Amino acid sequence: MTQPVSPPRDSTDKVPSTGQLPAWRTTVARADVRTLSLLGVLAALIVVGGITKPDEFLDTRNLQLVLTQGSVIGVVTVGMTFVIMSGGIDLSVGAIVALASVWATTVATQEYGFAGILFTAVLVGVGCGLVNGLLIAYGGMVPFIATLAMLASARGLALQITDGATQIVTIDSVLDLGERDAYILGIPPLVLVFAVVTIIGWLILNRTTFGRRTVAVGGNAEAARLAGIDVRRQRLYLYLLSGLCCGIAAFLLIILSGSGQNTNGNLYELDAIAAAIIGGTLLSGGRGTIVGSVLGVLIFTTITNIFALNNLQSDVQQIAKGAIIVAAVLVQRRTASTT
């Protein structure tokens, strides 16, 4: 997952009508440079962490910690990348994570044990995604508005279910997955899920017609329609996919925090969008890579980790985080345009 992997595809080679080899080559090279520059940013952060806190930062436990903390938002970001690539946006991801995590941890759900919690979390995520998808694809609503409405309603419903209380999980088989004993060859189960979601996401985007259609719809929806793609159905599936990712993320969050709370997933939408954009996904659609988005997530999580290890306070953290986002995007722009 941290490998630069093979050059993630770019949009232009999939939009019908263009297909000359030179153009294709430059696009691939450009995407590759973009990914490499992200790896450069990550490497620079690792150097900073290693210099400022060598013992605490360069430590297996810290690597496990960073990857674990990145898994929840990472899974959400994979779904978000698909949606943004298709020219859409999903502002409801945080609220869906909150609703799914709350619904899956009620006293009634917990009676069904591990399976009940997993099933409910995933189904609530998919259900919300379905509503988003139907409203956008067939209801003709603008994604921004439809998902904004979902954001409000899902948060409201989450609050109604919990009544403001923190719902503590008492199912040991769920809680155990977050403990050190559950690590497989030193890899936390949450990180494994994140890795699997990333790989599947990469395969779908790069090796299936579904992925090509997504890029085509994002690049030029009208051209895609004329080329015979059912654009509306494609959009429906994309929001379903994002909802599914939120459901999985909610389950991971339940394992991680051992509870469900209506404040969960606070501002995930912004974090996921920021990670995708840093990763080189075009906000207007048509271009993006899963590897880039995941690197974006890892950059964010590593920044947070380095700040905390150095005991920097919230004010400094926020200022620096904003500056680093700008720097990362500028570095990428520059390296991408000079090739």
- Positions in the binding site for another protein (CB under 8 A): 53, 55-56, 59, 61-62, 65, 68-69, 103-104, 106-109, 112, 116, 120, 123-124, 127, 130, 138, 159, 161-168, 178-180, 228, 230, 232-233, 236, 253, 256-259, 261-266, 304-305, 308-311, 313-315
Task: Report, in Å, the least distance between residue 82 CB and another protein.
Answer: 19
Nearer of residues 28 and 308 to another protein, judged by Cβ: 308
Task: Report, in Å, the least distance between residue 130 CB and another protein.
Answer: 6
Query: Please, what is the end-to-end C-alpha distance for the chain in angstroms?
Result: 25
| Distance of alpha carbon 216 from alpha carbon 125, whole angstroms | 26
Task: Report, in Å, the least distance between residue 265 CB and another protein.
Answer: 8
Nearer of residues 8 and 189 to another protein, judged by Cβ: 189
Nearer of residues 28 and 130 to another protein, judged by Cβ: 130
Are the beta carbons of 243 and 127 closer than 8 angstroms?
A: yes
User: Which amino acid does the sequence have at 51?
Assistant: I
User: Which amino acid does the sequence have at 216?
Assistant: A
Task: Report, in Å, the least distance between residue 23 CB and another protein.
Answer: 28
Token digits of residue 177: 């997955």
* Sign of the torsion formed by the C-alpha atoms of 96, 98, 101 and 103: negative
Task: Report, in Å, the least distance between residue 281 CB and another protein.
Answer: 25
Nearer of residues 82 and 103 to another protein, judged by Cβ: 103
Nearer of residues 163 and 326 to another protein, judged by Cβ: 163
Nearer of residues 261 and 332 to another protein, judged by Cβ: 261
Task: Report, in Å, the least distance between residue 320 CB and another protein.
Answer: 15
Compute, in degrees rounded to 10, the torsion defined by CA atoms 74, 315, 332, 85.
Answer: 40
User: String of b and e for 44-75 (b: at least 16 CB within 10 Å)?
Assistant: ebeeebeeebeeebeeeebebbbbbbbbbbbb
Within the chain, strands assigned E span 167-168, 259-260
Are the beta carbons of 273 and 160 closer than 8 angstroms?
A: no
